[in-house]
């Protein structure tokens, strides 16, 4: 049986989460995704001209990695899936984010994404920023009209630098804590 080790899981209390949300997400909702934390999205992550930012949700969770044999020989951490809760600007849980990748709202609506473009995170420990095309894969609701998704303002989540070096490590899993803002776009 594979065990999962949690590493660097963010410890957020309600006050800290509220502060993060009010500084990042309220700004995003008021002036668009380029205003998130004062950092514009890289040009490579620009959505189509016929799309508009519909809403932004903040993710708090983990990126899961497994130690596997590398195509180039040796061993390497391989990304398995994200596992996160999604929050609105009022610090209310509004959905989840998981493998696929997919985002599911509490109303049962769901969208699945395919990576179109990526840019480096701010620090080496931060997972990349992304632009994903999206399509509905669930019930009618909040996610049904989503056409693309940006992942911005990432913190943490990259695979650990150590711990996957020999066959003895094969199958070992770790969860690397991360946070990000997901900006959901719909047709204009």
Cβ within 8 Å of residue 152, ≥6 positions away: 33, 36, 39, 41, 45, 129, 180, 181, 182, 183
Strand partners, 114: 133
Give the rounded percent of residues in the chain with a pLDDT score beyond 90.
77
pTM of the model: 0.80
Mean pLDDT of all residues in the chain? 85
Q: Is the pLDDT of residue 17 over 60?
A: no
pLDDT 10s digits, 127-181: 999 999 999 998 999 999 999 999 999 999 999 999 999 999 999 999 999 999 9
Instruction: Give the start-to-end residue ranges of the domains of the chain.
Output: 4-33+51-187
């Amino acid at each position: 049986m594979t065990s999962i080790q949690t590493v660097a899981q963010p410890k957020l209390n309600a006050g800290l989460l509220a502060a993060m949300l009010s500084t990042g997400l309220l700004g995003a909702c008021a002036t668009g995704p380029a205003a998130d934390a004062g950092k514009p999205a890289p040009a490579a992550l620009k959505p189509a001209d016929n799309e508009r930012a519909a809403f932004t949700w903040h993710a708090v969770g983990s990126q899961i990695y497994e130690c596997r044999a590398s195509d180039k020989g040796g061993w390497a951490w391989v990304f398995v899936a994200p596992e996160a809760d999604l929050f609105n600007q009022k610090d209310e849980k509004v959905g989840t984010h998981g493998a696929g990748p997919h985002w599911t709202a509490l109303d049962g609506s769901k969208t699945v994404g395919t990576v179109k473009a990526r840019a480096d995170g701010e620090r080496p420990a931060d997972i990349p920023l992304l632009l994903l095309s999206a399509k509905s894969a669930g019930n009618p609701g909040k996610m049904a009209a989503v056409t693309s998704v940006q992942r911005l303002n990432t913190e943490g989540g990259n695979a650990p630098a150590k711990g996957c070096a020999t066959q003895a490590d094969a199958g070992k899993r770790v969860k690397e804590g991360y946070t990000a803002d997901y900006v959901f776009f719909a047709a204009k």
